[in-house]
Every structure is written in C-alpha cells, then in structure tokens.
Amino acid sequence: MDQNKTGVWFPLSEPQKSRWFRYQRDSMGRGQHNNGFTARLFGLIDGDTLVLALQQLIEKHPMLRARFRFHHGEPQQLVESSVEAKVVSFEARSFTEDELMQKIMEDLFLPFDLNCPPLIRIHLYHRSDSEGVMLFVFDHIVIDGWSYWKLLDELGQFLEANASGAPRTCNPELSGSSYQDFVEWQKDWLTGPKAERQLCYWLKYLGDELPVLQVPSLINTTAQGKLVVQYERFALSLPALLTRRVRELAGQQGCSIFVPMLLAYKILLARYASATEVVVGCPMPARTKKLWEDTVGDFVNMIAIRSRFEQEVSVAGALRRLRDDVLLGMSNQDYPFNVLVNKRGLPRNADVHPIYQTMFIFQNARGSGWRGLWSILDTDQLLEWGGLNIAPFPIYQTDINLDMQLVLEAVELEDHVRCDFKFDSRLFDQATMADAAQHFIRLLEEMVENPAGQVAELSMLSQNEL
C-alpha cells in the first residue's frame, strides 16, 4: 500500500476499536483519556516557530491527520492530505501556580472532535517574555506511548532547526510502512495459524474461572461517599540503592527489573485481598515486526499475567516462574486483547473488567535526555530541547481504564524508578495509598535481602507497624 495514501476510509485496528468502545461507553468522560506532556520553557519563545514545528510534525506522520466516523455500524478512519496545526496561546503572567495548574488540567481534558483533525494540539501559557509552560496533548486513538517519545524528539528537532533559520526538511514517514498497512496486516494475521496458536495459548493460560480482585482492607469508608469517578495518584521514587539491588536480583534470575517489581506488586495485592491468585494487566508495545518500529499510531495491546501463590515457593522460584509467564505473554502479545475477551464470551460490564481489575504499567523514557523530566527527586533540573531550556512541570495523568480500581505505573530512570499509584478516589485516599506505597518498598527490600526465603514469609510492615 502507498504509505502516504489519503482520502480513503479504512477500518480501525483492534487497539483502536478497543479504545473506541471505551469512548462510546463513557462519551461524557472521553477527554479523561487524553494524554499530555508538560514542561516549563525558558528562553525566547516564538509562537510562530512552534506552530511551524507542529505543522511539520503533522505533515510527516499520516495518523496525525486522521479523522473518524461511525458508518454502517462500524467505526472508520481516513487520513487527510493536509490539516492545520493547533497552538493555543494563553497569557498566564498574573496566575498563581495553583491557578495555572487548574487551567492546564482543564485544557488537558478537553475532548477532541474525532471528526476534526488533528487530534493533537499544543497549549502555550506565557509567564513572562522568556518563560512559559507548554502542554502537548493528544488523543490516544492516534498515538501510543512508543509514538509519544518519537514525536517529542522530532518536535524539538523541528523547533531548533526553524529557530536557526534553516528549517528542517519534512520528509514523510519513512519507516517503510504506514498505519494503514498495519491495519490490513492485522486483519489478515487474525485469520491465520499464528493467531490461532496465540489464541489457544491465552485460553489455556487464563483458564475458565478468573479471580476478581477485591481489596477491602485498603478501602477507606469516608472516600466511598463520592459519586463521581475521580482518579488521584500517590508518587514516590525507589531509592537509588534499592533500585540497584533490585536490578541485580533481576539479573541473577535472567530478567529485567520489570519482573521483580511486578512480583512485589502482585504480592502486595494478594496480601491486601487475602487471595492466592492475582491477575494483572500489562500494556505491551505490540510492535513485534521491525516494519512498525518508526510508525506513529496506536499499536499498544494488553496482556494478562495470572499468578498463583503457593506456601512453599521461594522469592527466586516465584521470580523465575513469573519471568517465564511474562516472556510467554510477550511472545503472544500480537493477539488483540479485545478479541480475546470476545472469544471467551465474557460480558463487558461497565463496572468490572472481565479479566483483570488492576494494571502494572512499566515505561522506560526512550532516550536518556528525557529521564530527568520524570524525576521527583530533582525538580529543578534543566534540559536542552528545541533551542530552549526546559524543566519539569508535573501534571496528573489519568489515561487508564475507568474500570480499574488501582494502577501502578513505573518509569525507569537513570539511577532510580519513579512509581505512581493511581487510584479511584471513591474507594481509596492519599493516606491509604501512602501506606500501600511503603509496603511495596518494604516487600522489595525483603526480596533483595533474602531471595531464597519463602514468599509467604516476606514482611511488608515497618518496625513501627509490627
């Protein structure tokens, strides 16, 4: 297929269909699924240069020009040949930090019109002639986390080149494939033997009856009076020494730091729920073919990791078992999760996810230059980007399934890991999440201290709680 083909309606991919279903289920809250990047900007901020850079980005990547419709019972998308970049400037010189944060959060959650591209925009808040805050926001139906890092890098490159007076040449997406190609490939793949093998794997692995996660010991009764879904977060960083030791433990068991952190989270949930089995959803990039490596679009797919905790299993044994489950799950990540749910004949209840009720999201900031912006240990760090100096301006992100009670999102940085416990404030509050976060750290400390010890004997309590 011509990767720059425009003006033709084509189906949604399975990841997009899943997101579309969520949008239809909660049309009033669709803006809550927006994702965004914010940073303080220091230097001479030229709004026209920013508009030009965003326009170049949109011209380069077809999916940034996509529009959507519902036609004859099916959602469809079309790539326009050209659309106009949207940069909204706002004078915020008189705003307090709290007022600015409130304004940015309101703008972050403004829903896009899916029939009016681009589904990406920039808000620029002027604090002075040489200082501002930028919000780069997009609808997830056209961009996933993998695309996110790529677009930030390229936007900075366009900005710097334009500011120097030598505009960067805007070549169309040159990955050798377009998102339209991916949609067609996925449709064909689902009718073949590889898809059948992956479906058989998941049906056998997950089994017939799945446990439903319930954590009554964490629920705060005063928070239960809230009627409106509102997600909050509690953020902390694993200390550098603990991070190093967890990485060493992972290396000893032939896995990445993802596995011991997932195990600690599962143990934490099992303790709170008094459960012997826990199922956790984990998003995967699902770019298993090199062909899609540089293609901007929504590829992300979920896998579910089911763990049974036996009394006698050691930490090392549990890590190896979980490592094997994760590797098998990753090798079968091409099978669309929403199709799996349909194949199992599971009801799509608006209140309870049919397979898992919690998620573990693990990210590694692609390109070491971005890592400092996610650190909560050094919020004054300055980085160079687009000919400007930028510093962190943290905002709260809610791009999670609205039927999740609790989500742990971890971002691996240079010498530590940032952890955000994102939770439904109708059920939990900041105090209970602070306790949960400390229990999580304590479990990791116990795991690295005695890998040969039994999981059942790990303590998650501090000396003050004993």
In this prediction, residues 252-280 reach a mean pLDDT of: 96
pLDDT in tens, 376-387: 656 667 888 888
**What one-letter code names the amino acid at 99?**
E
Which of 169-173, 214-218, 230-234, 429-433 has maximum average pLDDT?
429-433
User: Could you tell me how many helices (H) and strands (E) the chain has, helices first?
Assistant: 11, 15
Pick from 106-115, 132-141, 167-176, 334-343: least confident: 167-176
> What CA–CA distances, in Å, run from 356 to 39, 268, 425?
34, 16, 19
Pick from 26-40, 246-260, 414-428, 446-460: least confident: 26-40
CB 32 within 8 A of CB 43: no
Residues, the chain, total? Answer: 466
What is residue 377's predicted lDDT score, i.e. its pLDDT?
A: 58
* Of 351, 329, 209, nearest in space to 262 by CA: 329
| Residue 375: pLDDT band with limits 50, 70, 90 | low
Cα–Cα dist 293/299, whole Å: 10
Q: Greater confidence, 404 or 103?
A: 103
Burial of 228 (0-12, 13-18, 19+ CB in 10 A): exposed
Question: Interhelix angle for 315-331 vs 258-273, to 10°?
Answer: 110
Mean pLDDT of the chain: 88
pTM, whole model, 2 decimals? 0.90
| Residue 260: pLDDT band with limits 50, 70, 90 | very high
The side-by-side arrangement of strands in the sheet containing 406-412 is: 231-238, 417-424, 406-412, 358-364, 277-284, 301-308
